[in-house]
Amino acid sequence: MKRFLIFFAVLSLLLLVSIPVAAQANTNETPALGIDLTTFAGVVAVVSLIVTQLTKVLPVIKTTTILKICIPVVLGIVISLVSWHFGWAVFLTGMVLWQVILQGVIAGLASCGFYDLIKTIFKPGGYPASFSS
């Protein structure tokens, strides 16, 4: 019973301190968009989101392994080029075209999972899939 009272006292003290602090927060701020293209992780997340929705719409992507790799890479290049052109991506400022395309390829590979790419190319035995029997 003594532990319960101490726990309740600490909890009520925390609530008494945190509620006035939360009431002082500025509520005039506009909410941020859910899409953040200013970082590399944001570009990877957007590519993953779009590819996931495309796979739901076009089931042929699930069955063809080359499409599982090519679509995220192409989409990563397109999103990187668009965000570089409009100046949305801060990490792409000061880069030339080939560097932006390379960043798009890396973002596409990261979004589709580089491990899945390696798993598709190589079998668990360590040999390429084309040489296996």
Write down the mean pLDDT value for the chain: 78
Can you tell me the distance from the alpha carbon of 93 to that of 59, in angstroms, rounded to the nearest whole number? 37
Helix (H, G, I), strand (E, B) or coil at 7: helix
Q: How far is CA 57 from the centre of its chain?
A: 20
Can you tell me the distance from the alpha carbon of 41 to that of 51, in angstroms, rounded to the nearest whole number? 15
Q: What share of the chain is helix, strand, coil (3-state, %, to 5)?
A: 70, 0, 30
pLDDT (0 to 100) of residue 82: 92
Q: What is the pLDDT of residues 84-128, one digit of tens each?
A: 998 888 888 889 999 999 999 999 988 887 766 677 666 665 555
Can you tell me the distance from the alpha carbon of 67 to that of 4, in angstroms, rounded to the nearest whole number? 59
Whose tokens are 């005039």? That residue is 28
Of the two residues 75 and 29, the one the predictor is more confident about is: 75
Of the two residues 99 and 36, the one the predictor is more confident about is: 99
Can you tell me the distance from the alpha carbon of 73 to that of 80, in angstroms, rounded to the nearest whole number? 10
pLDDT at 17 over 80: no
Please say whether the beta carbons of 48 and 80 come within 8 A.
no
pLDDT (0 to 100) of residue 105: 93
Burial (Cβ within 10 Å: 0-12, 13-18, ≥19) of residue 62: exposed
pLDDT (0 to 100) of residue 129: 52
- The pLDDT-based confidence of 12 (bands split at 50, 70, 90) is confident
